[in-house]
């Protein structure tokens, strides 16, 4: 029964690339049904981490197998993934959780042998694992399309419009040229973020989806 407890209380802390931009972390959390997403746009501190661990303990008591936290790499300089992992690993099971699982063992003995592992955590930094490697079919196709578009613009400069300095990028489902001046107007260079954070309207879905019990 104890080994089952250890399995049920596994916290997975997954760090995505993007620095201050929380787009990848938000979308990954929605797509995977993660319990929490930590991004720069939503300020959090030690108190919030403690509340998150309490939430993980509650869900573990209900029989949830894993607790998933998606963190953007630049979400908080003081509270990194290692800090969150240590916070989980230092948590000791409460007496109520022991009663829920009906373990006939003294609390002191449980603390000594298994308490530190009840909410153990691991960190997976996707920023490192995604670097390099062989490009996918999509990458090759997109690279070819951009190369053709850029070469055509060099031959026919009118394709870029009236501006002589443009950036080629994906707008919706189309490759389009955008003037650098327009890019400057819609960018926060201090934090390297776009001014229009449209994905923030979807952030509340994370807490809604994580509460669904299958």
Q: Is the pLDDT of residue 118 over 80?
A: no
Burial of 72 per CB tally in 10 Å (0-12, 13-18, 19+): buried
| Structure confidence by residue, pLDDT tens digits, 128-145 | 545 556 777 888 888 899
**What's this model's pTM, rounded to 2 decimal places?**
0.69
**Whole-angstrom distance, CA of residue 164 vs CA of residue 132:** 33
Neighbours of 116 (CB within 10 A): 15
Strand, coil or helix: what is 132?
Answer: coil
Query: What is residue 13's predicted lDDT score, i.e. its pLDDT?
Result: 93
Count of residues making up the chain: 214
The most confident of the ranges 96-105, 112-121, 183-192 is 183-192
**Whole-angstrom distance, CA of residue 82 vs CA of residue 128:** 15
Query: What is residue 78's predicted lDDT score, i.e. its pLDDT?
Result: 92
Neighbours of 171 (CB within 10 A): 10
Least confident range from 126-130, 171-175, 205-209: namely: 126-130
Domains of the chain, earliest start first: 9-132+198-210 (3.40.50.460), 137-194 (no CATH)
Least confident range from 99-108, 120-129, 134-143: namely: 99-108
Q: What is the mean pLDDT of residues 119-128?
A: 76
Q: Is the pLDDT of residue 62 over 50?
A: yes
| Structure confidence by residue, pLDDT tens digits, 30-53 | 998 899 999 999 999 999 998 888
**Whole-angstrom distance, CA of residue 86 vs CA of residue 53:** 11
């Amino acid at each position: 029964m104890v080994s089952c407890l250890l399995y049920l209380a596994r916290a997975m802390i997954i760090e995505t690339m993007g620095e201050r931009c929380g787009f990848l972390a938000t979308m990954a959390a929605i797509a995977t049904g993660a319990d929490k997403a930590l991004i720069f746009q939503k300020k959090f501190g030690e108190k919030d981490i403690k509340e998150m661990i309490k939430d993980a303990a509650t869900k573990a008591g209900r029989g949830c197998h894993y607790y998933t936290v998606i963190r953007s790499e630049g979400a908080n300089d003081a509270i990194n993934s290692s800090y969150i992992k240590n916070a989980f690993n230092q948590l000791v099971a409460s007496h109520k959780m022991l009663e829920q699982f009906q373990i006939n063992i003294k609390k002191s003995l449980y603390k000594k042998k298994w308490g530190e592992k009840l909410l153990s955590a691991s960190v997976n930094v996707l920023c490192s694992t995604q670097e390099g490697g062989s490009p996918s079919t999509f990458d090759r196709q997109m690279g070819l399309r951009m190369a053709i578009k850029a070469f055509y613009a060099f031959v026919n400069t009118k394709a870029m419009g009236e501006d002589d300095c443009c950036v080629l990028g994906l707008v919706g489902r189309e490759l389009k040229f955008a003037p650098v001046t327009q890019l400057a107007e819609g960018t926060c260079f201090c934090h390297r973020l776009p001014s229009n954070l449209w994905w923030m309207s979807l952030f509340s879905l994370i807490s809604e989806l994580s509460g669904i019990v299958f």
